[in-house]
Amino acid sequence: MGRAKAAAVGDIDGDGRLDIVITCEGADAPKSGVRWLSRNPWPMNATWSDHEIAGSEGIKFDRIELLDLDGDGDLDVLTCEEQHAGRGLGVIWYENPYQIANSK
């Protein structure tokens, strides 16, 4: 997964349970720099499922926010990267990762 840099908590998949979204700096191959952890429903001590959102290996992602950026009623992921291909700081918006993953 890499080294966690920041975390945010919110209900990404709309199941009523809080999920964790993390950014990683120097994400280790083959993992990406932005991950989403969802809690499996049962039993009460259920494990967590790890989902890739996006981000290239080795890019240092920083702050993360969960908000309904596009006003469609679900949480989106907003993060920034320290440097990408020598171009400096960038802000990145990921449309709700659960909706994207389940539209395929």
30: left (phi > 0), else alpha (psi -120 to 50), else beta? alpha
Query: What is the model's pLDDT at position 33?
Result: 80
Q: What is the mean pLDDT of residues 48-77?
A: 84
DSSP E strands: which ranges in 40-102?
48-54, 61-67, 76-81, 90-94
Query: What is the model's pLDDT at position 21?
Result: 93
CB 24 within 8 A of CB 58: no
What is the tens place of the pLDDT at every residue in 63-100?
A: 899 999 999 999 999 988 766 566 666 788 888 877 65
Query: What is the model's pLDDT at position 90?
Result: 78
Domain extents in the chain = 3-101
Task: Give the mean pLDDT of the chain.
Answer: 79
